[in-house]
A and B are shown apart, each in its own frame.
Chain A
Amino acid sequence: AQSVTQLGSHVSVSEGALVLLRCNYSSSVPPYLFWYVQYPNQGLQLLLKYTSAATLVKGINGFEAEFKKSETSFHLTKPSAHMSDAAEYFCAVRRGSQGNLIFGKGTKLSVKP
């Protein structure tokens, strides 16, 4: 069965600092993995996805994630945080052929000036 664990419900960084949001997954089949971002009072927007091609995936707004099979991880990074990155971030794994997603519980990112 597939599952997703996001380490840290809240992460705070200073503007210009590295952003690292952690995601570990469990999957009995090669996984399809996603990161979504949710700004306050909005829906979810896709940041990036891994679908078994390149292990380093680049997304929007300068974010990227690296798929590491040996560590069952798909951590999200951004070299330099911006105030506009403050949001909640969700990692998700696709479940089954119907394309259902299983979400982690989310990590709220705060960016200090």
Chain B
Amino acid sequence: NAGVTQTPKFQVLKTGQSMTLQCAQDMNHNSMYWYRQDPGMGLRLIYYSASEGTTDKGEVPNGYNVSRLNKREFSLRLESAAPSQTSVYFCASRKDSHEQYFGPGTRLTVT
């Protein structure tokens, strides 16, 4: 039982490049989330998926897209990366209880 896994762990992009961050959970959770963490800002919700086949915008969705590929996987895509998207990205999942379970994060630098 690996919990929530994220790939890659680190990534450096040039402005304008695109990439997809992958997230998978093996806990059979219905809901999945993408957050970004910036110094002094806490975690801010980018997108979430309440169930397979549904996605909704969070607090800071601009510049991102998501796909809930199946119940296990929830990916985050940056179509044209900008320096303002330099951040640490966390995926999380939740079943019926209230708490969310977090992955180890992806550190993204956009130059």
Interface residue ranges, A against B (CB under 8 Å): 9, 32, 34, 36, 41-46, 49, 51, 90, 94, 98-101, 103-106
Contacts and interface: CB of A to CB of B under 8 A. Distances in A.
Interface of B: 4, 31, 33, 40-45, 48, 50, 56, 58, 90, 92, 94, 98-105
A9 B101 CA distance: 24
The majority secondary structure among interface residues of chain B is strand
A9 B42 contact: no
B99 A46 contact: yes
A50 B105 CA distance: 25
Given A43-B102, A43-B105, A99 B42 contact: no
Most buried by A among B92, B98, B103: B98
B60 to A, nearest CB: 12
B45 A45 contact: no
A99 B102 contact: no
A99 B31 contact: yes
Contacts of B105: 41-43
B42 A90 contact: yes
A41 B48 CA distance: 23
Given A43-B103, A43-B104, A99 B41 contact: no
Contact of A100 (B4, B48, B104): B48
B5 to A, nearest CB: 10
B90 A44 contact: yes
A83 B94 CA distance: 31
B1 to A, nearest CB: 15
A101 B100 contact: yes
Contacts of B56: 98
